[in-house]
Amino acid sequence: MSDSRGQVETRLVYAHGLASIIVLFVSLLFGFFASLEMAAPDSLGASPWLTWGRLRYDHTQGIMLGWLANAFFAFLYHAVPLLTGRRVTSVRLGQWIFGLWNFAIVLPGWILVLAGFSQPLEWAEFPLVIDAFVVLALLLAAIQFLPPFFSRGLEDLYVSSWYIIGGLVFTLLAYPMGNFVPELVPGARGAAFSGLWIHDAVGLFVTPLALAMIYFVIPAATRRPIFSHFLSMLGFWLLFFLYPLNGTHHYVFSVIPMSAQIGAITASTLLGVDVILVVANLLLSLRGAGWLPRDLGLRFVATGTVFYLIVSIQGSVQAQMAVNQSVHFSDWVVGHSHLAMLGFASFAAAGGLIHVWQRIPWARYNAEALEWSYWLLLAGVILMVTDLTVAGLVEARMWQSSAPWIESVRAAGPYWMFRALTFVPIAGGFVALLAGLTTGDPGAGLAAIRDSVGLKPVSEIAPRLAIAESE
Amino acid sequence: MRRALRMSYLAAAVGGLGFFAMSVLLLGVWPGRALEHQIHATSPEHPLALSASEQRGRAIYAREGCAYCHTQQIRYLSSDVSRFGAATLAWETIFDYPHLWGTRRIGPDLSREASIRPEDWQFSHLYAPRALVADSVMPAFPWLFDGAPDRPRQEGRDLVAYLETLGRDRALAGPEGEAHARTACNCSDDERRFAFAALNASPAMARRTGEHPRLDASQDLSHGKELYAQYCAACHGLRGEGDGPGSAGLHPRPANLAEHEYTLDRLSASLWNGVAGTAMPGWRDLAPRDLSAIAQVVRGFHAVQPEPSLPSDVLELGARVYADRCAQCHGEKGGGDGSAAGQFSIAPADLRSGRPSMAASLRALRNGVDGTPMAPWNRELSEAELSAVAYFVRGFFQQ
């Protein structure tokens, strides 16, 4: 390390990275069990601990707070020092955050939900006591990661930095709103706040940090600056303007005032336009890297970018009243959220993890396994989302007809069975991801960097990234 | 220059936080105020809050994720309203801490569940959903019971008590409440149409208004058998003997269709409206063509047997006993419309549109019909009187 001011705490990167994948497997199993119970009810017996609702709660909370959040933290420990040229606040604090996050939030949260302590709010299912720890941990994370930006000074910040600051600050604001307010404000009035959080969880926590990863990995792996800093900033500000205004599109045709619904739908439409802008900038930055970049981190991130475009335009379409009235409540929406969390966010997170792993000199790295991981996950997510999309359209059609309700359940049966089977490629893909990051030779990642694209010498991109690369 | 830059970051930070604040104000606080006004204007004076048991049931509903498959929100759309009833008004949700609206509908919406299914059906369905609805994917909740659908534990009772509250306040508000809410509702004509739709909403389902349809006899029997297997067999059994897997927990038991002969009109009424006080729901979602096909299958279960001819003094005895003991409820002409009929939640059998077999008639007289007001008569009547009246009542059919 030539410059200790920007030193990366590789042990914390490694700990969060490994934790993210372990937690991911548990979340994945929750999801698989839930999908199995829909395809073949009673197949897991009738224990209260394995009932569908509880598994469903643990699946989504585990994916968001377990897998993605840990992966984000791993990435932040790598990126923040490189972006600011300063160390994170404290290693000891980092150990506390790691312990709190995994052993005071994710693990007890799961157990409490399975034992019957939860709240029935989407993306907020962990019980209130866990929420208190989440807020505390988010506060500590802000203390850990934000001061380097401020002590460095905010001038000439790279766009990833903006997304990191925005994501951490806004999540700290939005999380309490989504988790506490509906407990205090009843019924329709509370639902208005719930709607906001359902979108903020994805829009203000997952998306900014995933985009921070994508914006970080692309120039670092291609060794070429981002296409347009101006577009990056425009995209950033528009996203942070529009994302929070989307929430009410989850309750279209409800008793919530129509003007709020129409406002949210308008914001959803504009958001699609903005994402075209963001993704265009990202894809233009990828020029020259090929359709299938050789650098695996870059490849995951690039694929996540494409999924981001698809899922956002899909969301804009689904929010339109004419579409929403028939497909809302259907499996297409479930497909949409899997495209967002598995397609966009998980590909970005996996890419980010691979990228930072390559740069831990002592970490094992197995490119062949990661190659498998990529193709299995790609196949899995495409199969699952396509299946759920068709299922949703079939259900929507049945609901519009006068057929008895149960006909729509019967019609969805084969699709649910197929969805449960997509567990095989997806789980295989994540097993390969784990293998890719825990087998192979230590330091093989560094060799992989030298072997990959590298379109321009690193010193031409940004001096601060050059510090990182020269280590 | 540096100062200007720093000021611009400050402005950006304030602006950024402003975006979030704006979203909360525009989509959270302001709609909340509008809803509060609407609730104030449209709510009945004292809507019935949940009892302690219902409150506990609500917590079970919440923790088991019921709201993740069953919405409690009927949207302002004809597809929702025709299926589930009038759209959800804001005041109906004022006791929901937190709300249970849901964003996914795997099972039907439950906003009006209270008036749709009776308690025994709910218990049986929670205990073993597929015993009643063959294609259901609902999780079973046997741990809320002591080994049988009619032996719920306290948690099971609480949960069903909560289900019985869904839509209760709206029903209790009655026509006066609806009228008050309609005039006070600050909503567009379109919204008003969906929120206060005049619906034939009792006792089973909301879809379609009007009287039960005329069914005709010539039908595709194989189609009918398929429909019967899908919708009816779970309770009434594959051979119509009232012994399907879902029958065990139901009181009264599902009708034994093989032991009764029904007119088409009776079958149509039962299929269209359900049977009040029993677990039999209305099947208004099915087209009249399908209902005719099912009716044909049901009528096929009954084997026509040669009728014994009895001496006239037996008939006279039967008529005398009937007039003394039965006519009060079942009516002078056997139409189930006696002077006392109105006081029962389950209507007395209409013997003119449904004829029991001799064995079924005798059994009902001797043992009564479990789960209905029909009492056993074996202590009151002699064996000869029982046989006579059992025979006599069968004579009302199609009179």
Q: What is the pLDDT of residues A62-88, one digit of tens each?
A: 999 999 999 999 999 999 999 998 899
Chain B touched by A325 (CB under 8 Å): yes
Distances in Å between the alpha carbon of A332 and those of A339, A363, B45? 10, 40, 41
Collapsed DSSP state (helix, strand, coil) of residue B152: strand
Which range is least confidently modeled, B62-76, B200-214, B353-367? B200-214
pLDDT tens digit sequence for B60-113: 999 999 999 999 999 998 888 888 888 888 898 999 999 999 999 999 999 988
What is the predicted pLDDT for the residue at B2?
A: 67
Q: How confident is the model at residue A301 (pLDDT cuts 50, 70, 90)?
A: very high
Q: In chain B, what percentage of residues exceed pLDDT 70?
A: 95
| Residue predicted with more confidence, B189 or B299 | B299
Question: Rounded mean pLDDT of chain B?
Answer: 87
Q: Any residues with CB less than 8 A from the CB of A71 and at least 6 apart, and which?
A: A16, A17, A20, A349, A350, A352, A353
As a whole number of angstroms, the distance between CA B390 and CA A260 comes to 66
Q: How confident is the model at residue B347 (pLDDT cuts 50, 70, 90)?
A: confident
> Is A154 in Cβ contact with B20 (below 8 Å)?
no
> Is B106 in Cβ contact with A187 (below 8 Å)?
no
Residues of A in contact with B17 (CB under 8 A): 169, 173
Residue B202: pLDDT over 80: no
Short-list A420, A137, A173, A155, CA closest to B17 = A173
Buried b (16+ CB within 10 A) or exposed e, A325-346: bbbbbbbbbbbbbbbbbbbbbb
From A189, which residue of chain B is nearest by alpha-carbon distance?
Answer: B32
Q: Measure CB to CB from residue B65 to each of A56, A402, A410 and give the nearest one.
A: A56
Any idea where the domains of chain A sit in the sequence?
Answer: 4-469
Residue A468: pLDDT over 70: no
Pull the structure tokens for residue A264.
């949210």
Q: In chain A, what percentage of residues exceed pLDDT 90?
A: 75
Residue A224: pLDDT over 80: yes
In the predicted model, what is the mean pLDDT of residues A132-147? 95
Question: Rounded mean pLDDT of chain A?
Answer: 90
Q: What is the dihedral of CA A345, A349, A355, A359, to 10 degrees?
A: 160
Phi, psi angle pair for A256, to nearest 5°: -60, 135
As a whole number of angstroms, the distance between CA A252 and CA A260 comes to 9
> Is B22 in Cβ contact with A120 (below 8 Å)?
no
CATH architecture assignment, domain A4-469 = Up-down Bundle (1.20)
Chain A touched by B321 (CB under 8 Å): no
From A41, which residue of chain B is nearest by alpha-carbon distance?
Answer: B137
> Is B139 in Cβ contact with A41 (below 8 Å)?
yes
Domain B312-396 = CATH 1.10.10.10:
no
Q: How confident is the model at residue B293 (pLDDT cuts 50, 70, 90)?
A: very high
Q: Measure CB to CB from residue B135 to each of A56, A247, A406 and give the nearest one.
A: A406
What is the predicted pLDDT for the residue at B210?
A: 66
**Which secondary structure element, helix H or strand E, spans residue A441, and what is its range?**
strand A441-442
In the predicted model, what is the mean pLDDT of residues A159-184? 92
Which residue in B103, B138, B272, B294 has the most chain A C-beta atoms within 10 A of its own C-beta, making it the best mutation to test that interface? B103
Q: How confident is the model at residue B135 (pLDDT cuts 50, 70, 90)?
A: very high
Residue A3: pLDDT over 60: no
Q: A179 to chain B, minimum CA–CA distance in Å?
A: 10
What is the predicted pLDDT for the residue at A432?
A: 97
As a whole number of angstroms, the distance between CA A352 and CA B21 comes to 31
From B18, which residue of chain A is nearest by alpha-carbon distance?
Answer: A241
Q: B31 to chain A, minimum CA–CA distance in Å?
A: 6
> Is B140 in Cβ contact with A250 (below 8 Å)?
no
CATH architecture assignment, domain B221-300 = Orthogonal Bundle (1.10)
Which range is least confidently modeled, A11-25, A51-65, A400-414, B268-282? B268-282
From B64, which residue of chain A is nearest by alpha-carbon distance?
Answer: A53
Q: Measure CB to CB from residue A253 to each of B76, B92, B140 and give the nearest one.
A: B76
Q: Provide the 8-state DSSP code for B48.
A: P
Residues B146 and B127 sit within 8 Å (Cβ to Cβ): no
From A163, which residue of chain B is nearest by alpha-carbon distance?
Answer: B16
What is the predicted pLDDT for the residue at A292?
A: 86
Residue A165: pLDDT over 50: yes
Chain B touched by A250 (CB under 8 Å): yes
Residue B12: pLDDT over 80: no
What is the predicted pLDDT for the residue at B175?
A: 80
Q: Measure CB to CB from residue A170 to each of B20, B38, B138 and give the nearest one.
A: B20
Residue A156: pLDDT over 80: no
pLDDT tens digit sequence for A89-137: 999 999 999 999 999 999 999 999 999 999 999 999 999 999 999 999 9
In the predicted model, what is the mean pLDDT of residues A369-391? 97
In the predicted model, what is the mean pLDDT of residues B312-339? 88
Residue B157: pLDDT over 70: yes
Pairing of strands A364-365, A441-442: antiparallel
Q: A368 to chain B, minimum CA–CA distance in Å?
A: 40
> Is B63 in Cβ contact with A53 (below 8 Å)?
yes
- B260 strand-pairing partners: B356
Q: How confident is the model at residue A4 (pLDDT cuts 50, 70, 90)?
A: low
Which range is least confidently modeled, A1-10, A218-227, A283-292? A1-10
As a whole number of angstroms, the distance between CA B183 and CA B41 comes to 9
> Is B36 in Cβ contact with A196 (below 8 Å)?
no
What is the predicted pLDDT for the residue at A389?
A: 97
In the predicted model, what is the mean pLDDT of residues A397-407? 90
What is the predicted pLDDT for the residue at B207?
A: 53
Q: Measure CB to CB from residue B93 to each of A117, A186, A248 and give the nearest one.
A: A186
What is the predicted pLDDT for the residue at B1?
A: 61
Q: Which amino acid is at B181?
A: A
Chain A touched by B170 (CB under 8 Å): no
Judge if B52-195 and B221-300 fold alike in CATH terms.
yes
- A364 strand-pairing partners: A442
Pairing of strands A441-442, B354-356: unpaired
Q: For residue A150, count other CB atoms closer than 10 A to its CB.
A: 12
What is the predicted pLDDT for the residue at A376?
A: 97
Q: In B, residues 49-88, which contact A (CB 8 Å cutoff)? A: 61-69, 71, 73, 75-77, 79-80, 83, 87-88
From B100, which residue of chain A is nearest by alpha-carbon distance?
Answer: A120
Residues of B in contact with A169 (CB under 8 A): 16-17
As a CATH number, domain B52-195 is 1.10.760.10
Half-sphere exposure of A190 (CA within 13 A, CB side): 24
Chain A touched by B147 (CB under 8 Å): no
As a whole number of angstroms, the distance between CA A369 and CA B62 comes to 42
Find which of A220-234, A373-387, B3-17 is predicted with most confidence, using mean pLDDT. Answer: A373-387
Q: B76 to chain A, minimum CA–CA distance in Å?
A: 5
pLDDT tens digit sequence for B244-255: 999 988 988 999
